[in-house]
């Protein structure tokens, strides 16, 4: 017990124990405030929904009034009109309430759906809504109503159970578990190095006791961590008195459609699931440490086990014995059928089995010696004959664990990044479902309007014929009637096609059928994009070109839809357009045609597009880089290092080399992990996948042989292979790192403190990058090295469009970054620096 207490104390009294809860609370508070100020999306969505209902309702009701004034209404017509008017009143009431920020509309929704169900039973009247969507909305409203709660903000929650869910998903997931394992192994290594375990044994504590105490202390710490998350996440809900929102129905998609589970089930399952898995993997990890006597090896094995469980899940779906479902809770089947209770019981049995096995293993005194890493002694330093200073720099970083920490962080971040990509890929059926149902509902509403116009036209035709109107007039009305009739038939046809497709989500040919259907719809209706007389866009032209290319080269296209959306149609890229225009339609179009995949080529492309290598570089500046100020700082090792047979410049140059090499190697490790795991799970993908390359209009007076002009977007573009673009992006990244290292060198030359050097370097980068956002179209921008930090946008030419300057391109970027890097390095190396006292 004493051993357990002392180990627990050493964990709780460490800096981590103050830092981690502090960071948790800080991040939670930041998210809370962001959500508080940004919330309202759910209300806006509900408002939009009611608005969309009013239009066809109004149309159809007006048709009845028109008919009444013309030929009069039957008794059934009167009933139907009354029903429709009731529906309209209910929708208006909901609209008014929502405008007043009153989200208590569940009873109105139930009544509205009931009224529509009655309406739907009348034969021969115009369809305005889809019954299956209304059924889902009614189910949700009934659950909300039954618990006496209101609709709540779902996108950016801040005072409800959904906020708690958001925080739990953020802090209780496989990635935080990997960081926990890292801490455990780091602690073990540190204690072993400081001979803590040896000291314990010298004080008559058995190895078995030490093993169990170490494990027990971390099990307790893990539970405390999970409890802190639970408390912190639930606090806003409890303080604001919204505890009842634990019954709020969370919408989850299955292949059978949409299902609801109460938030409290997830709020219970996520932390319990995470804790159980964490305890299980801790046991396994400590057993591995015991067997291998190596924390690093144990960590790698534990990660491999987690990865294997994930791959089993990936290939075989839900398996009741697979504990990975404790962490990855998108297996909705667990909840819908209450199977999560059975699952938890089985996993707890599994955990007990592991604990029993572990108990016997930890009791034993044996260990297999793994020669390559004996933690009881420092591994011998074998300096390089040719790179003496460089190898010494690496040794320093190795000894204070920054090398291993950096590798671990890179590995975890690479895995986490791919995990997110893969998760999104798994959500494709849900995205398809949403796209199809949204479009179908849109068609139903349009169809309602079309049918109304058809009925009116038919009535007009009848009246015209009865009143003996002129033949030309009758002909005109007939043409209109036929047109409306065709439109109604087409709309009905597409609605049927979409309904059929909805039945087939998840089938082998689904992707192809989906694309084929939307290609046809796009040809007939022009998609969601507003037709413009100027001409086609990059999206339009590149789609046709790419589709031909895909067919010729037998390449599977990525987007879920049939359209290749260029950066002009991407709300994340063309922020100016999407901020100013009425862009809901464009956003929907983008959402329904997003690039989603999980193969290697796609993953690496996204890795660049999301600036991950740059973020990693910035992280490395803080964690692993040596600064020139290292040697000049007061109470430093100045005397030691400068009384050796090498010059000051050699010392400084070696540090610069170390920074560069370590960053390149770490980025390579991250890339290799990413490539390996994405290749294993998603395949390599095509190296020849076409990417749109943008070319500024001013470059060419007329269209060149290889470029196409898109009049709507006023740019030229061409297609190039993804491998070429990745290569160019990699070269620019290589030079960006080179530039950053040289900048760091110059700043380090004039700073006494290592962390000041790193922070000033990052501040300069932040300011430099900010200048590219504020002075976007400045004439000197192409000389600004920071404009090339968006490496993918430079490689695909988009950056030249953003800054409206064709000089911002790959070639100039390479030259400018190289020249500036060399100049900065020379300044850093040759500057006269006062000696340390």
Q: How far is the CB of 581 from other proteins (least distance, A)?
A: 57
Long-range contact set of residues 3-7: C-beta below 8 Å, sequence gap at least 24? 3/200, 3/205, 3/209, 3/210, 3/213, 4/212, 4/213, 4/216, 4/217, 6/213, 7/213, 7/214, 7/217
Task: Indicate the burial class of 694 (C-beta count within 10 angstroms; 0-12, 13-18, 19 or more).
Answer: buried
Rule CB under 8 A: choose which of 635, 701, 702, 773 binds other proteins: 635
Nearer to other proteins, 193 or 807 (CB): 193
392 binds other proteins (CB under 8 A): yes
Nearer to other proteins, 240 or 400 (CB): 400
Query: Judged by CB under 8 A, how many residues of this single chain contact other proteins?
Result: 31
> 762 and 621 in contact (C-beta within 8 Å)?
yes
Rule CB under 8 A: choose which of 314, 419, 638, 664 binds other proteins: 638
Nearer to other proteins, 315 or 643 (CB): 643
Encode 200-216: b = buried (16+ Cβ within 10 Å), e = exposed: beeeebebebbbbbbbb
CB atoms < 10 A from the CB of 617, how many? 22
Q: How far is the CB of 203 from other proteins (least distance, A)?
A: 19
Q: Return the residues of window 459-498 that contact other proteins according to CB under 8 A.
A: none
202 binds other proteins (CB under 8 A): no
755 binds other proteins (CB under 8 A): no
Nearer to other proteins, 169 or 378 (CB): 378
Task: Indicate the burial class of 665 (C-beta count within 10 angstroms; 0-12, 13-18, 19 or more).
Answer: middle
646 binds other proteins (CB under 8 A): yes
Q: Return the residues of window 170-199 that contact other proteins according to CB under 8 A.
A: 193
The DSSP H or E segment spanning 819 is: helix 810-830
399 binds other proteins (CB under 8 A): yes
Q: How far is the CB of 643 from other proteins (least distance, A)?
A: 4
Q: How far is the CB of 196 from other proteins (least distance, A)?
A: 13
Nearer to other proteins, 387 or 525 (CB): 387
Nearer to other proteins, 371 or 834 (CB): 834
Rule CB under 8 A: choose which of 107, 308, 647, 779 binds other proteins: 647
Nearer to other proteins, 1 or 380 (CB): 380
Rule CB under 8 A: choose which of 364, 637, 687, 763 binds other proteins: 637
Name the segment binding other proteins (CB under 8 A); options: 118-126, 441-449, 478-486, 634-642. 634-642
- Tally of CA atoms within 13 A in the half-sphere of 614 that contains its CB: 23
Rule CB under 8 A: choose which of 33, 37, 338, 381 binds other proteins: 381
Structure tokens at 205: 């504590």
Q: Is 468 left (phi over 0), alpha (psi -120 to 50) or beta?
A: left
Nearer to other proteins, 231 or 650 (CB): 650
CA dist 673 and 607 (Å) reads 12
Nearer to other proteins, 646 or 700 (CB): 646
CA dist 456 and 453 (Å) reads 5
396 binds other proteins (CB under 8 A): yes
15 binds other proteins (CB under 8 A): no
- Specify the DSSP class assigned to residue 595: B
Q: How far is the CB of 776 from other proteins (least distance, A)?
A: 46
Q: Where are the alpha helices (DSSP H) in 249-293?
A: 263-292
Rule CB under 8 A: choose which of 337, 378, 779, 831 binds other proteins: 378
Q: Which residue has the tokens 């925080």?
A: 167
37 binds other proteins (CB under 8 A): no
CA dist 87 and 110 (Å) reads 11
CA dist 299 and 286 (Å) reads 9
835 binds other proteins (CB under 8 A): yes
CA dist 430 and 435 (Å) reads 8
Per CB under 8 A, residues contacting other proteins are 193, 377-378, 380-385, 388, 391-392, 395-396, 399-400, 635-640, 642-647, 650, 834-835
């Amino acid at each position: 017990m004493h051993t357990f207490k002392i180990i627990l104390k050493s964990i709780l009294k460490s800096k981590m124990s103050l830092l981690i809860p502090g960071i948790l609370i800080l991040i939670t508070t930041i998210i809370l405030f962001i959500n508080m100020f940004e919330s309202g999306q759910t209300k806006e969505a509900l408002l939009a929904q009611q608005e969309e209902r009013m239009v066809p309702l109004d149309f159809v009701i007006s048709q009845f009034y028109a008919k009444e004034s013309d030929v009069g209404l039957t008794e059934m017509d009167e009933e139907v009109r009354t029903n429709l008017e009731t529906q309209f009143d209910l929708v208006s009431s909901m609209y008014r309430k929502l405008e007043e920020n009153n989200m208590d509309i569940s009873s109105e929704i139930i009544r509205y759906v009931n009224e529509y169900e009655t309406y739907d039973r009348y034969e021969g009247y115009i369809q305005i809504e889809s019954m299956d969507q209304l059924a889902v909305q009614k189910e949700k409203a009934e659950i909300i109503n039954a618990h006496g709660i209101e609709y709540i903000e779902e996108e950016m929650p801040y005072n409800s159970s959904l906020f708690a869910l958001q925080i739990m998903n953020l802090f209780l997931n496989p990635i935080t578990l990997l960081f926990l394992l890292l801490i455990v192994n780091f602690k073990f290594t540190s204690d072993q190095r400081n001979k803590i375990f040896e000291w314990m044994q010298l004080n008559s504590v058995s190895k078995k006791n030490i093993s169990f105490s170490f494990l027990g202390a971390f099990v307790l710490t893990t539970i405390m961590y999970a409890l802190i998350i639970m408390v912190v996440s639930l606090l806003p809900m409890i303080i604001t008195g919204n505890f009842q929102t634990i019954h709020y129905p969370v919408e989850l998609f299955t292949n059978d459609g949409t299902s609801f589970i109460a938030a409290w089930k997830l709020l219970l399952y996520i932390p319990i699931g995470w804790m159980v898995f964490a305890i299980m993997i801790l046991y396994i990890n400590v057993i591995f440490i015991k067997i291998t006597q190596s924390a690093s090896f144990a960590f790698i094995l534990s990660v491999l086990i987690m990865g294997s469980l994930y791959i089993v899940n990936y290939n075989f779906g839900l398996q009741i014995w697979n504990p990975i479902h404790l962490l990855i809770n998108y297996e909705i089947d667990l909840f819908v059928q209450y199977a999560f209770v059975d699952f938890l019981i089985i996993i707890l049995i599994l955990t007990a089995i592991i604990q029993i096995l572990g108990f016997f293993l930890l009791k034993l005194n044996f260990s297999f010696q793994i020669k390559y890493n004996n933690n009881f002694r420092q591994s011998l330093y074998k300096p390089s004959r040719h790179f003496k200073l460089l190898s010494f720099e690496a040794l320093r970083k190795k000894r204070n664990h920054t090398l291993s920490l950096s590798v671990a962080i890179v590995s975890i971040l690479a895995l986490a990044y791919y995990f997110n990509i893969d998760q999104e890929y798994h959500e494709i059926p849900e995205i398809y479902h949403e796209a199809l149902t949204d479009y179908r509902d849109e068609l139903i509403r349009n169809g309602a309007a079309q049918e109304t116009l058809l009925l009116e036209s038919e009535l007009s035709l009848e009246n015209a014929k009865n009143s003996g109107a002129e033949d030309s007039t009758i002909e005109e009305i007939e043409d209109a009637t036929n047109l409306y009739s065709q439109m109604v038939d087409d709309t009905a046809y597409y609605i049927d096609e979409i309904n059929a497709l909805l039945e087939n989500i998840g089938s082998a040919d689904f992707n192809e059928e989906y694309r084929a259907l939307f290609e046809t719809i796009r040809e007939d209706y022009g998609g969601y994009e507003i037709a413009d007389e100027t001409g086609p866009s990059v999206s339009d032209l590149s789609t046709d070109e790419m589709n031909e290319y895909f067919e010729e080269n037998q390449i599977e296209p990525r987007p879920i839809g049939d359209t290749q959306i260029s950066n002009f149609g991407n709300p994340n890229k063309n922020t100016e357009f999407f901020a100013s225009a009425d862009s809901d339609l464009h956003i929907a179009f983008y959402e329904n045609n997003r690039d989603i995949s999980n193969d290697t080529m796609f993953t690496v492309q996204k890795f660049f597009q999301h600036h991950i290598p740059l973020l990693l570089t910035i992280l490395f500046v803080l964690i692993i880089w040596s600064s020139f100020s290292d040697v000049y700082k007061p109470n430093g090792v100045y005397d030691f290092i400068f009384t050796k047979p090498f010059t000051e410049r050699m010392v400084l140059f070696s540090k610069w080399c170390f920074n560069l090499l370590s960053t390149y190697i770490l980025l390579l490790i991250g890339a290799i992990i990413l490539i390996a795991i994405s290749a294993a799970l998603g395949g390599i993908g095509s190296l020849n996948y076409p990417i749109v390359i943008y070319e500024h209009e001013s470059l060419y007076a007329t269209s060149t042989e290889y470029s196409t002009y898109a009049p709507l977007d006023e740019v030229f573009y061409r297609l190039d292979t993804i491998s070429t673009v990745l290569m160019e992006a990699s070269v620019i990244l290589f030079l960006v790192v080179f530039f950053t290292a040289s900048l760091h060198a110059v700043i380090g030359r004039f700073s006494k403190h290592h962390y000041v050097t790193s922070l000033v370097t990052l501040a300069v980068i932040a300011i430099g990058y900010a200048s590219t956002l504020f002075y976007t179209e400045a004439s000197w921008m192409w000389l600004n090295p920071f404009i090339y930090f968006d490496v993918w946008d430079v490689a695909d030419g988009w950056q030249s469009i953003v800054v409206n300057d064709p000089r911002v391109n790959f070639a100039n970027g390479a030259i400018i970054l190289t020249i500036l890097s060399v100049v900065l390095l020379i300044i850093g190396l040759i500057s006269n620096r006062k000696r340390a006292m």
